[in-house]
Structure 1
């Protein structure tokens, strides 16, 4: 039986060898013949740019987007996220804005350059919005910023926000009770009555399950004209926040609340500040081409704040001149705007026997009032002043010459602020067109001796103290 089996095995092997030999012969005879396997159908994964693709298997209606220098992903041999390599923009340094702020003395901040580009502002493990750090600036600068993605659907009941990690103790807002945040709002978002271009800073007590009953929400809306560009958004918590001692958490909400629409925003540089005053003299700069003969905005205490007007600092003989009032320039607007204004403190029992005022430096030549003989100034009078005695809510414009007996021939134009206008800015107008000088009775338009502008607030002939704010002294026709 064994031999028979072996014989059968040999026969099978021989048949197999003969079949393989025959296949080789047939293949050799047909090696120059092309086989027609049929057409290759285009697809989104065939390694060929076809169909409606913008690149190889990408950028079409049925393919993923092609890698680009604005997709927020480090790809296509980029050196960083959307920078370097095939992208024209060089990659920025890691955290240049953070590095510049680290020694600024701020109690906390976050630049959103990287996840850890912050001072005392931690990040919790979860949030109801997605915040990506180190994203290329959508405006095309070399900076890296944060991308704030608001989710679609019923997340946090439509009140999605980004909360920083809870502070270990309550936050001290006594000095730093104002905030700035730079925001970029793409016009591609679908804004309507629910999704709105609003930014909110929310200060809350995380230990309270009903924290919304005690929170402080500061909000600002971005003008659609500012979409697709960076805007600095300011938030003024003011005295009310300064006195608050229960908050331990800071949150940012963008896009409004109580809705479920998705949207994308970009942000950078969340900073606390003691003042929202814009640097420099923006209002004086704006007036520089106005054609006015003179003006003074009180943004600064020197000529940079005016044209041909400057607070008096010297007497005629060159000796130092001391104003009758105490004045600070470029202070924060008590109404909370970004304007730099002046605070005038009328001292108690002042140096001029109750006739304390603010004088401007005498003009080099007599003032021509023939055309510009009307004036206006913005005034803010706090209701905290005690007007029950001799102190009055009056502002006087005094025009005179630089003479020891100037009061014998000055022109005084007075305006009084109504009680209802306390704690707000009021524009007072002084009409000198029919105002007569003391003594001679000469009308201001015809006067040819005056060289000095003076302001007096709070009345005269008394020694009571008072606080006032002023800005933008401007002549008009």
Structure 2
């Protein structure tokens, strides 16, 4: 018993001593594990010769920057926003993104935001100097790209603008036609070796001898087209590979696209402006051939949708895009494959007018005389890809109304047509001879107040999205 009591006192004494030693050590040194950390390139501290935290200097890791082609360091887009310059909006790319083209680039920015499946190579790998998002030389509100071909450039006269290679060969079987908007200043000196040409080069990325195998499509711009925007068309239908003669639609090796400005094998400098390089399945005929044909018809008004201005119509001009409920794109390729320039009308999901999205023409200066022309035709193409299982309907409405106040809908006359054939052009006829005003019941031919036309696609009172194509709104007797 006595030994047991003694053992308990011994154990208590040991614990007391150990505790005193730990307290003593803690008092003498605040951190018993304090030891020196050797600087490294992975310690989360900017030290050594680093120019950032664990990057730069001899670390072998590039520090994030506003030119690294990566969205990082709090940027709102790739190399823009946050600590970098403000991001540039890409309205043309936003519209093209709604379409079917597998490849496009608008030159609004220097990154993927301006394109689909196309992005420029970095500046160090280019033969030309380029600036994106520059002011339109024609004075428009849109931003474009400036291509500067340097004097005595780095590639001995073979300077060009390169897109990044694709990860696999491009399928050109359907999309082998290309459009590009070009503005060539007359201030360029074309008296020597510099040429007013633009070449589209389709090639592979296997080795440095790609030029032995490429397909080249050159376009020469007439001097009468200098100092203005023109759309050039590269037709690859019959363009062949340099070595095998295989036509582009049958090509199975090309994985890259390049643009060359001003010719090759010379050292002369040149300046070019570009916008909207688009791969298409069909071309649009230049100008406004259908409007030109209608111009001598004696009609009081019409609109062909070949362009977005008065050149497409007689006494009809679309309202400003900012006040449209839909998003129109004019002069697009015919979805049926012809060379007709038509308009794509995109009805956005949850649009700005709470389900009453429409396409508006500008009001007339005076009320319209419907006594003679009170019947109307319009050609419509409705893709079957639209989802009509919900609220969206395959309908088109013609609305005749005044512009007195915001309550025009209390007084309008509207005529609705339903489309039953998809993926083909359908001519709709709106007969206004017996159509009446919603408030007074006055028939359209006797109307003396209406001064405006509006077209509505896809029904009303719902937020569903839809895509429609339209051409040639024409009155008839």
- Under TM normalisation by the shorter chain, which class is it? 0.3 to 0.5
TM-score, normalised with respect to structure 2: 0.45
Greater Rg by CA:
1
TM-score, normalised with respect to structure 1: 0.45
